[in-house]
Amino acid sequence: MKKSFILMLALAFGIMSCNNQQTKPKSEDMDTNPFFTEYTTPYQVPPFDKIKTEHYLPAFKKGMNQQKEEVEAIVKIADPTFENTIAALDYSGELLTNVSSVFFNLKSALTNSEIEAIAKEVSPLLSQHQDDIGLNPDLFKNVKAVFDKKDELNLNTEQMRLLDKVYKRFVRGGANLKAEDQERFRAINKELSLLELKFSENQLAETNAFQMFIENSDDLVGLPQSVIDAAADEAKAAGQEGKWLFTVQKPSMIPFLQYSEKRDLREKILKGYIMRGDNNNENDNKESVQKIVKLRVERAHLLRYESHAAYVLDENMAKTPENVFNFMDQLWEKALPMAKAEVVELQKLIDAEKGGFKLEAWDWWYYAEKLRKAKYDLDEEEMRPYFKLENVIDGAFAVAHNLYGISFNERTDIPTYHPEAHVFEVLNNDNTHLGILYMDFFPRESKRGGAWMTEFRQQSNKDGKDIRPVITVVCNFSKPTGDTPSLLNFDEVETLFHEFGHALHGLLSDCTYPGVAGTNVARDFVELPSQFMENFCSEPEALSLFAKHYQTDEIIPQSLVDKMTASSHFNQGFVAVEYLSAAYLDMDWHTLKEPEMLDVNKFEKESLEKIGLIPEIVVRYRSTYFAHIFSGGYSAGYYSYIWAELLDADAFEAFKENGLFDQATATAFRENVLSKGNTEDPMVLYEKFRGAKPKIEPLLRRKGFIQ
């Protein structure tokens, strides 16, 4: 799931205490700043049509001051209880939560130079604010007082879970450190907040900087017409009408790598992608990586952990780095030989065409697509007409309706942050309001790459009022061109279902306290709901709901579905090795035990050589653009996707056994996984759904590693 790390940082204590020198907002700000009054929009969504850039900083400052006052009130309590201390702290910072959720979400989806400047100013303030709360000795004293008598308080499961989480957050946030160590802890957090922000800015700049203009139509040979038309539109938008523009945004780059017959241009675009942040220019990320890694080790040592990974994993299902490595090793041992066998097949195809060259990374996509067509008579472009974006959205909604009885109604009377963003009201099966869902699909220069889900408002229940969530899903899909609508490739279909699965996790949350609601779960559990939804993309019963030809409305023919099924294990060695190599790289960076400034490229090379990564495959994310771990909250956690895939493969077996839309199974999944947030240990929740611990065999079968 792609949630802003800075937003998660901000939300860590309900949200975080501002510098005593901050001034109060001017009276005119109070009158015009929409953050300072209760939203009057439908379902109290953010009033995007009224929010202006100048509103953010005063709202951040007022929000931090307000929460500081709330914390001071908690500190003064003579007899701390769960309600007046733990619950009060979890509910605190409402204004700061509101402004942070809007600002940091739009920083990812609709940024500009003014937003970036505010982020640079406010990020260290938020870091300081978080530390002012987490390192407040009197506040920790009250929290600890409640924690020490927890067995006498008759707390329910959710309350006990929240108490444990809040207490550990203080300990992990440095509350037990000596005064001088706390000062260093604060300094590290402040510096990290700026370094991670800089990493993200550099990555976006590098992505936007690469442009490959093609002037000669002969250089378009092999490309489908839809790809050519999209490139022409991109060039026109860039002021170069009559040319074709290709970028390192995935909807532009991947089709080029798959179909272009121009090997030199395939090499150019792939190298443009993999060299981002490593061009020794003003956007180079190597120094940021060095400093981030070094500071994380130092912080872990302050907290008595031997590595940053040990610190992170202590709160995850995996628990230890050794468990992560052991799990990945089981998969790597099967994936690498499969990838090497795929190299042999692709090289044979090159030799048969008398190519006269050795397979390189920029050749893989092209010859894999050729081989898939030769082996299975399946061309990915043959599937696109059946995956019109609007139909796929309707299909995701239909799957959710069949599983959980919920429905989605598009609303045009609710403000949005961009004309391309759509808004849906989500209803329960009794037509009661469940939540609001924003969806934003296409690339633009103001939006970072990738796909993610996050919230403008989390679900909770305060003073008996059920506060329903406002969720957003943001993607970067192939745009419509001319009279042709947006037609997705199958990978994009899976991405939409993936992020929609995260959205359901947020929408179906039924918890009391925001700190344990929705997607506030262990990093290696949060991907279960998202990856679970991906399973439906290739099931004939689900495909019949949305895979319809955009011109004829004909349902995808069974013959094409059969080809998809037959080819389901095709190229899985590549997919697993490309992903796992990045997960190993993440773990290698974050199991370092000494705070050193290491040569980034040398370290990366040695890490990948150690596992035997073959030269024909480039690690999915090189260090200098590995945003998941250096600016996205997945440090020592990129393994989470495959860990959660073990869970989702096992979970989906229950639906295969009982029926794809079996109501009893779907209800059990909703009630024990989707609605429960972090109210119990994730493995306990999973076992309540499944009746047993997950087995690895379904995952191995899915990938074709075993029969």
Instruction: Give domain status of residue 99, yes or no.
Output: yes
Q: Kindly state whether residues 71 and 163 are assigned to the same domain.
A: yes
* Average pLDDT, integer, range 649-670: 97
Residue 465 has φ and ψ, to the nearest 5°, of -100, 125
Contacts of 121 (CB under 8 A, 6+ apart): 57
pLDDT in tens, 349-369: 999 999 999 999 999 999 999
Could you identify the residue written with the tokens 């909807």? 251
Over the stretch 442-480, which tens digit does the pLDDT of each residue have? Answer: 999 999 989 999 999 999 999 999 999 999 999 999 899
Mean pLDDT of the chain: 94
Q: Residue 353: its pLDDT value, please?
A: 95
pLDDT of residue 14: 36
Strands (E), 460-550: 460-462, 465-467, 470-474
482 pLDDT more than 90: no
Query: CA 154, 160, 163: angle at the middle one, nearest 5?
Result: 120
The arithmetic mean of pLDDT across residues 433-441, rounded, is 98
Helices (H) and strands (E) in the chain, counts: 29, 9
**CA–CA separation, 473 and 454 (whole Å):** 7
Q: Which of 397, 401, 435 is nearest to 518 (CA)?
A: 435
In a domain, 317, yes or no: no
Label residue 1 by pLDDT band (50, 70, 90).
very low
* Alpha-carbon distance values, 549 to 342, 382, 384, 557 (Å): 32, 11, 9, 10
Q: How far apart are CA 376 and CA 373, in angstroms?
A: 5
Rounded Cα gap, residues 388 and 548, in angstroms: 8
Residues 6+ apart with CB under 8 A from 322: none
Q: Quick count: other Cβ atoms within 10 Å of Cβ 462?
A: 14
Q: Is 279 helix (H, G, I), strand (E, B) or coil?
A: coil
Question: What six digits make up the tokens of 656?
Answer: 């295969």
- Tell me the pTM: 0.90
Q: 213: which DSSP letter?
A: E
* Axis-axis angle for helices 157-172, 137-148 (nearest 10): 140
Q: Output 350-359 pairs: Cβ under 8 A, ≥24 positions apart.
A: 357/263, 359/616
Local confidence band at 31 (pLDDT 50, 70, 90 cut-offs): low
How far is Cα 647 from Cα 683, in angstroms, rounded to an integer?
A: 10
Tell me the two tokens of residue 11.
């939300």
Interatomic CA distance for residues 243 and 352, integer angstroms: 34
φ, ψ at 50 (rounded to 5°): -110, -15
Q: What is the pLDDT of residues 697-707, one digit of tens each?
A: 999 999 999 88
Structure-token pair, residue 172: 């992990």
**Residue 242 forms part of a structural domain:** yes
Classify residue 692 by burial, with Cβ atoms within 10 Å: 0-12, 13-18, 19+: exposed
Is residue 115 situated within a structural domain?
yes
Residues 457 and 519 in one domain: yes
Same domain, 158 and 261: no
DSSP 379-398: -HHHHGGGBBHHHHHHHHHH
Helix/strand/coil percent split, the chain, to 5: 60, 5, 35
Domain interval for residue 235: 210-274
* Confidence at residue 4, expressed as pLDDT on a 0 to 100 scale: 36
Based on the fold, state whether residues 454 and 552 are members of the same structural domain: yes
Whether residue 402 sits in one domain with residue 266: no
- In the block, residue with structure tokens 């067509």: 373
Using CA atoms, how far apart are residues 525 and 533, in angstroms rounded to an integer? Answer: 14
Say if 485 falls within a structural domain: yes
Checking if the pLDDT of 5 tops 70, the result is no
> Where is the domain boundary, 566, 581, 596?
566
CB atoms under 10 Å from CB of 609, counted, come to 9
Note whether residue 196 is domain-resident.
Answer: no
Residue 690, in any domain of the structure: no
Of the listed ranges 82-86, 267-271, 565-569, the one predicted with least confidence: 565-569
How far from chain centre, in Å, is Cα 210? Answer: 24
Q: For 147-176, write each residue's pLDDT tens digit.
A: 999 999 999 999 999 999 999 999 999 999
Q: Where among 523, 548, 566 does a domain terminate?
A: 566
- Residues 265, 119 within the same domain: no
For 570-629, the pLDDT digits (tens) are: 999 999 999 999 999 999 999 999 999 999 999 999 999 999 999 999 999 999 999 999
In a shared domain, residues 157 and 242: no
What angle do helix axes 250-259 and 225-237 make, rounded to 10 degrees?
A: 140
Catalytic site positions: 499
Could you give the count of Cα atoms lying within 13 Å of 40 in the half-sphere of its Cβ?
Answer: 4
Give the domain CATH number at 19: 1.10.1370.40
Does 22 share its domain with 75? yes
Q: What are phi and psi of 51, to 5 degrees?
A: -75, 125
Q: What is the DSSP string of 63-131?
A: HHHHHHHHHHHHHT-SS--IIIIIIHHHH--HHHHHHHHHHHHHHHHS--HHHHHHHHHHHHHHHHHHH
485 plus 416 within the same structural domain: yes
Residue range 293-346, pLDDT digits in tens? 999 999 999 999 999 999 999 999 999 999 999 999 999 999 999 999 999 999
Q: What is the largest CA-CA distance in the chain?
A: 83
Of 545, 566, 587, which closes a domain?
566
User: Is 165 a domain residue?
Assistant: yes
Exposed/middle/buried for residue 502 (C-beta within 10 Å: 0-12, 13-18, 19+): buried
Residue 707 is predicted with a pLDDT of 82
pLDDT band at 30 (very low <50, low <70, confident <90, very high): low
Number of domains in the chain: 3
In the block, tokens 């391309």 appear at 420
H-type alpha helices, 247-320: 250-259, 263-274, 286-302, 308-313
Backbone angles phi, psi at 703, to 5 degrees: -85, -5
Mean per-residue pLDDT, 401-411: 98
79 vs 146: CA distance, rounded Å: 9
Same domain, 85 and 17: yes
Give me the pLDDT at residue 574, please.
Answer: 98
Beta strand 433-440 pairing with 470-474: parallel
Q: Is 571 exposed, middle or buried (0-12, 13-18, 19+ CB in 10 A)?
A: buried
Q: Which residues pair with 435 in a beta bridge?
A: 426
pLDDT in tens, 424-436: 999 999 999 999 9
Residues 167 and 235 in one domain: no
Do 128 and 235 share a domain, yes or no?
Answer: no
